[in-house]
Chain A
Amino acid sequence: MSNTQPPAPPDDVGAEVAVKASPVRPAPSAGRRPRQRFRLHLLVFLLPAAAIYTIFMVYPLVDSMRLSLYAPQDGIRMFVGLENFVHLLTDDLLSARFWNAVWNNLVFFAIHFFVQNPIGLLLAALLSSATLKGRSIYRTLLFIPTTLSVVIVGFIWQLILNPIWGIVETPLLGQSSTALITLSLMSVWQYIGIPMILFYAVLIAIPDELLEAARVDGANGWQTFWRVKFPLVLPTVGIVSVITYVANMNAFDLIYTVKGALAGPDFATDIMGTLFFRTFFGFQLQRGSSTMGATVATMMFVLILVGVLLYFFVYQRRVEHYEL
């Protein structure tokens, strides 16, 4: 099949592929609007990704949800319906751990939301200012922590905050009152580059005419930022927040690196990821339970789903998008 083949009415599949492959998309033949036929090339493009995604993401996810409906009884895995969930939410010991983890997770997210977004926006605004020199150096430096391994971040901050070798006397990571906040801020420090770069991309895409117009109208820098730039950034704030939410609810590595799977002191830094780890894999002498672990994982999924749906239906629909 050659690219030069003249456009034929898409009667057969071969012609369809040929049409797709031709460099210039031929105009539909005059007078006859091509019927909305099933376009095979869409399948060709979508299938590989869909197949891989299904095998490695959808299937395991669904299977782990299925696993949460089973429990071992006398060594055999039996279907028990929602019993695991009832147990997780009603057993005084387990539910206390679970809600503690959920609460800590929400605190972890809240700190990210309220610290990471404003600082990210501030940095992006400063970076996009026209008079700034050495912009790309700052941009790179600020983004570097994001590319570091969590293990390194955890290790560096543990040393910085260490009462023996570090700069503070207070055991910030060792007290239940401060440990979670400290860990959250460590994580904010690491990932500040992501909101910064996303906000920055929006800010530099704002056409100069808009800003000039504002200036002509007599707006100062402050007013220009809040009245012109900020509304344009708002949709990105939503996206950044939802990304942060998903990442935070799935968080595990930093806490595990710094505090271990028991997430001490007194479970003050225990989040759903560490709870899941202990439940699924066991810890020290505690034996793991794959079914209970799957139950915790399913609850994590549900909480993330609720958060993301709230974003889509409450925030995404209300926030105004401007065509530039």
Chain B
Amino acid sequence: MPNRLRWVAPFAGLLLVLASCGESEDPREEVDEPDSAENGEADENGEVEGDGAEGSLIIESWRNDDLAIWEDVIIPAFQEQHPNIEVSFQPTAPDEYNAALEAKLAGGTAGDLITCRPFDVALDLYEAGHLESLNDLPGIETFSDVARSAWVTDDGSDVFCVPMASVIHGFLYNAEIFDELGLEEPSTEAEFHDLLDQIAADGNYAPLVMGTADQWEAATMGFQNIGPNYWDGEEGRQALIDGTQGFDDDAYVAVFDELASWADYLPSGYESVTYPDSQNLFTLGNGAIFPAGSWEIALFREQADFEMGVFAPPLPEGQDTCYISDHTDIGIGMNPDTDSPEAARAFLEWTASPEFAELYANSLPGFFPLSDHEVQLDDPLAQEFIDWRNECESTIRNSYQILSRGEPNLENELWDLSAQVINGTIEPAEAAERAQDGLERWYEPQQ
């Protein structure tokens, strides 16, 4: 055998030589260079702006998709003001982030700045002393209570992460299909169903593009998308936490009812259509309406070659205030064990500034700043999403704060139940009852 393969050796050698001749390009090297050049210059000129804090900071994050944006846009902008602070963004894969971060914090090797997951994960870190209280951070007052809700103690007294971004739910649509069929954005649920019927009657496009295979779309893009209009946003969310409302109340059954009615408009075989399937189906122009989260904007802009529009969740009958799910998703906090606390504070202060808000929102269309600063967005779709904040009341997903702490886990239940309601394997009323039973098992105010 070795003899027969003798001729391979020279070729392999040649290949190696050729490979070594090529210039290896590490994209990160290129990114780093301008940064360090800038720093060098600043040092030579002795230009030290800002508060003059020094040090090097490492940011822990799960947003590995955003690495380039942080390195090319956000960090250089920060360093213009703070040339003596080195910042490096070191993301971990989203699935591994929580476990990896916890291990690093326990071992004392975690970064100085920590990107915070919303609610209990971050709260646990704070309670374990891995996040610093930020009550006195200049700029923290520009965030509303809803914006802060994801990173405060249960009694609201301590805030430990600067809210960075939220995502808003709505319905993206293919404007060309709407033009072709002469359709208009619906504002009420009746109009919405009319619209869906018309697209279905035409027969060329899937009226609603979603599947239930991954389960979370049914809950997140379905239940939590249209739900706030039924349970009056924050009012209903708080009532669930207080125990004055339950999942078996009419409002919640009505959400499941509406969700069940979607089944007729989804692509055939939607039970095994996954999230990437539906993304592709929509961007290929085979479907008309995509129940969405604003985070889709960037990807859809890249992949779809048609005009897109967006409308807010249509109002159910008899409802005149609109509510949107403006869900707090990312925050940033500070590791108390950091070696350069002043530099870390300087960075956090900057993340609370209007400049950061504008920069972040425009670099990542679909992730919206949570501060009260007026922000101008370049992307018209993103702008439309954020404009709803002026017309509608904001709320967050009702299963996220406090209510998903016990067994069974409410969020997991909602995934399962929402998918099953659409699949038709459970009745809406039964689903609502099961969610309520689950909550009553462990949550005292509901017992």
Q: Mark A153-164, 1 if CB is under 8 A from B, else 0.
A: 000001001111
A93 to chain B: which residues have CB within 8 Å? Answer: 407-408, 441
> A164 to B269, Cβ gap below 8 A?
yes
B38 to chain A: which residues have CB within 8 Å? Answer: none
Q: Which of the segments B6-14, B81-89, B212-220 contacts the partner chain? A: B212-220
> B416 to A266, Cβ gap below 8 A?
yes
B415 to chain A: which residues have CB within 8 Å? Answer: 262, 264, 284
Whole-angstrom distance between the Cβ of A39 and the nearest chain B Cβ: 37
In the complex the two chains form, what is the Cα distance from A281 to B102 in whole Å?
A: 12
Q: Mark B346-364, 1 if CB is under 8 A from A, else 0.
A: 0000000000000000000
In the complex the two chains form, what is the Cα distance from A164 to B213 in whole Å?
A: 13
Known: A171-B273, A174-B273, A286-B411. A264 touches B268 (CB 8 A): no
Whole-angstrom distance between the Cβ of A297 and the nearest chain B Cβ: 16
B400 to chain A: which residues have CB within 8 Å? Answer: 285
Mostly, the A contact residues are loop
Known: A264-B215, A265-B215. A285 touches B120 (CB 8 A): yes
Q: Which of under 10, 10 to 19, 20 to 34, or 35 or more describes the interface residues of A? A: 20 to 34
> B272 to A172, Cβ gap below 8 A?
yes
Known: A174-B212, A260-B215, A264-B215. A163 touches B416 (CB 8 A): no
> Does B404 belong to the interface (CB within 8 Å)?
yes
Known: A176-B425, A285-B120. A161 touches B268 (CB 8 A): no
Whole-angstrom distance between the Cβ of A270 and the nearest chain B Cβ: 11
Whole-angstrom distance between the Cβ of B3 and the nearest chain A Cβ: 20
Known: A264-B213, A287-B120. A164 touches B277 (CB 8 A): yes
> B119 to A285, Cβ gap below 8 A?
yes
> Does A94 belong to the interface (CB within 8 Å)?
yes
Q: Mark A246-289, 1 if CB is under 8 A from B, else 0.
A: 00000000000001101011110000000000000111111100
> A264 to B277, Cβ gap below 8 A?
no
Whole-angstrom distance between the Cβ of B256 and the nearest chain A Cβ: 15
Whole-angstrom distance between the Cβ of A164 and the nearest chain B Cβ: 6
CB-CB nearest in chain A for B277: A164
Which of A171, A262, A267 touches B271 (beta carbons < 8 Å)?
A171
> Does A173 belong to the interface (CB within 8 Å)?
yes
Interface of chain A residues 26 through 49 with chain B (CB within 8 A): none
> B423 to A94, Cβ gap below 8 A?
no
Whole-angstrom distance between the Cβ of B404 and the nearest chain A Cβ: 4
CB-CB nearest in chain A for B411: A285
Whole-angstrom distance between the Cβ of A267 and the nearest chain B Cβ: 7
Which of A174, A265, A266, A286 touches B404 (beta carbons < 8 Å)?
A286
Chain A positions near chain B (C-beta within 8 angstroms): 93-94, 158, 161-165, 169-176, 259-260, 262, 264-267, 281-287
